Structure 1
Amino acid sequence: MSTVDPHSFFYCAEQDHSHLIIQGDWILAHYATLREQIAEPRKNTTAITSADLGELGKLDTAGAQLLAELLGPDLLERLTHNSDNISPKHSILLQRVAQTIGPAASEPVAPGFLIVDLLARTGNASLIFWRHLVELLGFSGLVLSSLARNLLRPGNWRVTSLVAQIEVTGLNALPIVALLTFLVGAVVAFLGATILESFGATIYTIDLVAFSFLREFAVLLTAILLAGRTASAYTAQIGSMKANEEVDAIRALGLNPIDLLVLPRVLAMLISLPILTLVAMFFGLLGGALVCMLSLDISLPMFLGTLQQNMDARHFYLGMAKAPIFAFLIALIGCMEGFKVSGSAQSVGEHTTSSVVQSIFVVIVVDAMAALFFMEMGW
């Protein structure tokens, strides 16, 4: 290629085959010919270390990309900085193209190792978990301080918003909570009777249903239902307001979004979840009593008498004591994820999903810790 070919868009210098001289119009109209010609230098063993763009004619994005493939992004970017015989618009276009494809072309991804990747993912997950924990603790402190500040100021209470949130959170969730716990109570009683029948101890099915629902199932099922139903609603509502800049408008009016948006939802959850837990206990025991009457020939008076005789009130108190804790955490996570929304519909969806997952995870972890604590305390 030492002889200049008028139909070629580049040629090598006579004494130095590593130096290319670019000529002609590198535009989309010549794309097919350019693609064929730049394939030839790649077959040669001589590496291209320098080039001259002084004879370059017209240039567009397609031609600039082919130049980057021919010369390499590093050399192309170096030429645009050091060469004075390139027009400014060509120089800017070549720089942008070189910077765009530079990292992918000049930094090949090294093959990873399974253990190293596993450790990296574990460390990254640990950092994400720690960041979420710190954010949750900080947001809980912010909500508690706002609650303490408004507690003795009745003029700041949002009674209308609180009642509306109680209706949405508690009253509207009552049918699904009652139905679910009734069915689960019936299933627990049926399974318990099936196992205990082989030991001749079907009467203890009453204790099994009562113990499981008073201490664990009622509050846990209710909290998980509200985590999926209400925490997601809180995130979607606040997230949509954040996306529509309504939260910024609230701040511009001199109002506190925590007082206006978070406190009514947190208080509504604190009121609704214990009431729904009480309803869940009743319907869970009702489902177990129905199975005992139909399958085990245990009458309702006998069921209630055995329940009163064998079950201590502390089981009821321990189950109810967890309800406010779960309520506070669920409402807190739902509101906090709503404030994290960045402004797009995709972000609303991502944080809504995240709030549900985090709420259910936190509820189960706290319930497990409480069960271990109660067991160690002998309660």
Structure 2
Amino acid sequence: MGRKLMQSTQSQQAKIEKLHDLNEDNTVRLKSSGDWTIDTLHDAAEMLTEMTSTYRNVPILWDVSATGRVDSAGMLLFIRSFDALKANQCSVDVVGATSEHEKIYQLVRRYAFGHREAKPALFSRLLMPFNRIGRRFVAFLTDLKDFLAFTGENFINLLLAIVHPRTIRFGAIVKNIEEAGVRAMPIVALTSFLIGVVIAYQGAVQLEKFGANIFIVDMIALSVTRELSPLITAIVVAGRTGSSYTAQLGVMKITEEIDAMRTMGFDPHRFLVLPRIFALIIALPLMIFFADIIGIGAGMFISHIHLNLSYPEFIHRLQKVLAVKHVWVGIGKGPFFAWLIATVGCFRGFQVSKNTESIGRYTTISVVNAIFLVIACDALFSVVFTELGI
């Protein structure tokens, strides 16, 4: 503004005037005057609203040299109107501003409005799905790299533990076996019992049509021992134990216990991760064997009720069709499933950031990742065993 108005005891009403319509150079000339403060803006705000809805694609020269005092409310009105005219494709030139009003303009523009993102063009919007896919793929590669580094660090600590067995925390392993194995037996037993019931009922309906009731034993014995008991038990453990590993380590990270351990010279991988992995590798095969017994027992019970197949007859047929190798195939999957579940659970726990919201997020990711990897690993085992004739 070219001159400063003397402050008076009474504020002058803010005004915005249109000097005249389009002239020879097609320019609309606006002139603001008065004090642009919160108490004087009513009439000017109405005029500016009407002008911003009227002018489009025209050059505008806005003279503010007659403007007196300006507070943040007046500057907000000016900026809002200025931006609205710009959005209407109008070229706006402001003349007559003083250094004081330039300072308040910069302050209000910076803190009240911030930097607005321009609306993406049509081509940019079409590329947005590919952009998201690319970002997720890069995030996946980063996660994979971090997971391989985490696995490598665990492997090094495992070798050190084998070389120096006294450093193995057997007490922590036993405690984790109790937490991951013994306390999980009720839910594993219930799940295995229901699986045996479902297989027996579904198989009995079909086999009874052909008078092949005795073959229900083959179906129950092979499907339970080779596939269903290992897979269902691993999924239950992934949801129960894998999530608890993530939550436990996540809370320790939030409370800075892990940082304190590093400060005191204790390796968190050796003290926190390895005992959990060892415990689950020991506990899961035992739980699979327990699930085999419960599942076959449930199938035998339903076969007796639904197909009138006696218990001695069921056991006699079971001894013929169930070779020991089938039991070992299912149990042998246990250590691999356990390693995947424990490693993923601990890895996600170490990724928890220092806020409580991330615990829930990474716990969910841990369970989903562990279940997916268990199913993928089981499919790989099925293909390999079939090709090898096992």
TM-based fold match above 0.5: yes
In the alignment, what sits opposite 1:139?
150
**Are 1:291 and 2:302 matched, yes or no?**
yes
Number of aligned pairs? 368
Does the CA-based 8 Å contact 2:193-2:295 persist in structure 1?
Answer: yes
**AA partner of residue 36 (structure 1):** E
Q: 1:31 to 1:376 in 2, by over 3 A?
A: farther
- Distance in structure 1 (CA, Å) of the matches to 2:227 and 2:32: 77
Aligned pairs for 1:104-253 (under 5 A) are: 107-111=118-122, 119-253=130-264
| Secondary structure, counterpart of 2:14 in structure 1 | coil
- Distance in structure 1 (CA, Å) of the matches to 2:181 and 2:16: 76
* Unaligned segments of structure 1, at least 5 residues: 1-5
In the alignment, what sits opposite 2:13?
7
Regions of 4+ moved over 6 Å: 13-16, 73-76, 112-115
| Secondary structure, counterpart of 2:225 in structure 1 | helix
Measured against aligned partners, the alpha-carbon deviations of 1:138-197 in whole angstroms (never above 9, x if no partner) come to: 211111111111223233222222222111111110011011101111110111011111
Q: 1:84 to 1:64 in 2, by over 3 A?
A: closer
Does the CA-based 8 Å contact 2:32-2:63 persist in structure 1?
Answer: yes
Q: 1:88 to 1:290 in 2, by over 3 A?
A: same
Q: TM-score, normalised by structure 1?
A: 0.86
Measured against aligned partners, the alpha-carbon deviations of 1:238-296 in whole angstroms (never above 9, x if no partner) come to: 11111122221111112111112111111111111111111111101111111112222
Greater shift after overlay, 291-300 or 329-338? 291-300
| Secondary structure, counterpart of 1:57 in structure 2 | strand
Q: 1:153 to 1:98 in 2, by over 3 A?
A: same
Q: Which of residues 269, 286, 289 is equivalent to 1:275?
A: 286
- Distance in structure 2 (CA, Å) of the matches to 1:95 and 1:114: 28
**Are 1:91 and 2:103 matched, yes or no?**
no
Does the CA-based 8 Å contact 2:254-2:355 persist in structure 1?
Answer: yes
- Distance in structure 1 (CA, Å) of the matches to 2:61 and 2:162: 75
CA RMSD of aligned residues (A): 3.1
**Are 1:38 and 2:15 matched, yes or no?**
no
* Unaligned segments of structure 2, at least 5 residues: 1-11
- Distance in structure 1 (CA, Å) of the matches to 2:245 and 2:203: 38
In the alignment, what sits opposite 2:8?
none
Does the CA-based 8 Å contact 1:22-1:56 persist in structure 2?
Answer: no
Greater shift after overlay, 234-243 or 154-163? 154-163
State the structure with more CA Rg: 2
